């Protein structure tokens, strides 16, 4: 039986030194917080240069604090509850574990005040995360972003690829050549340039490594389930 498997991810966004901060702040939160962070392609690791880490953290923390958390039936809500109490507790345990490993909470990190019905977790940003820490290696499936510092772009690529997953990724740069080099070097099934997430069922979707195999969508998704047959016609020569 022909199958294709999509098995989750630990997607990274590389923020180059020339990245537009306004573009990052506008597009990065939806790349993580859509579907309350319970999304296979969620950008849950943000790789930032040592020089830009303070300003990026401050800007994203301010944006996360503006996220409206509440009843998913309310049109104003931007972040709803997680699927169950067990999963909420699992996500919070990842945050506590990260802090125990030396990370710091820039914003969030707990249950929003006043939301007693439903299984909520605040939009959370962790800083000072080690690339090999559990929170940087395992899929959290919740609204938690790990900010990881890098020294140069070669190291950023190494960190981005240094997980068992390879589903999605993002690159932020004002230079097309830099964006192209980073996108080509990321070992994942899709890369979003100056955006946290794109959805297009006309192009193939799938992952590398433990993120699965095969592709969905686009012509490639059809070919996954197709047996090719060749018919040779008598007398037809080239």
Q: Which residues are known to be catalytic?
A: 6, 40
Angstrom distances, CA of residue 83 to CA of 1, 53, 60, 118, 142: 32, 32, 25, 9, 10
6 bridge partner residues? 212
Q: Check: CB of residue 199 under 8 Å from CB of residue 185.
A: no
Question: From its phi and psi, is residue 30 left (phi > 0), alpha (psi between -120 and 50) or beta?
Answer: alpha
Q: Report d(CA 64, CA 67) in Å as an integer.
A: 5
User: Cβ distance 174 to 153 under 8 Å?
Assistant: no
> Taking the CA of residue 79 as centre, how many other CA atoms within 13 Å lie in the half-sphere pointing to its CB?
30
Say how far apart CA 49 and CA 152 lie, in whole Å.
7
């Amino acid at each position: 039986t022909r199958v294709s498997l999509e098995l989750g991810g630990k997607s990274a966004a590389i923020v180059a030194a020339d990245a537009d901060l306004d573009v990052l702040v506008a597009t990065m939160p939806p790349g993580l917080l859509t579907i309350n962070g319970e999304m296979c392609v969620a950008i849950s690791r943000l790789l930032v240069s040592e020089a830009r880490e303070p300003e990026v953290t401050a800007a994203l923390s301010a944006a996360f604090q503006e996220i409206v958390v509440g009843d998913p039936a309310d049109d104003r809500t931007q972040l709803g509850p997680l699927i169950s109490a067990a999963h909420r507790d699992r996500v919070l345990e990842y945050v506590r574990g990260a802090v125990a490993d030396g990370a710091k909470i820039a914003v969030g990190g707990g249950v929003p005040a006043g939301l007693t019905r439903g299984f909520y977790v605040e939009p959370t940003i962790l800083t000072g995360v080690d690339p090999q820490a559990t929170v940087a290696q395992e899929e959290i499936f919740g609204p938690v972003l790990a900010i990881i510092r890098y020294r140069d772009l070669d190291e950023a690529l190494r960190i981005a690829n240094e997980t068992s997953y390879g589903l999605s990724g993002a690159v932020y740069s004002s230079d097309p050549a830099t964006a192209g080099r980073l996108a080509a070097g990321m070992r994942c099934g899709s890369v979003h340039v100056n955006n946290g997430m794109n959805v297009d069922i006309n192009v193939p979707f799938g992952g590398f490594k433990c993120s699965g195999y095969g592709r969905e969508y686009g012509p490639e998704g059809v070919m996954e389930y197709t047996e090719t047959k060749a018919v040779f016609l008598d007398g037809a020569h080239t």
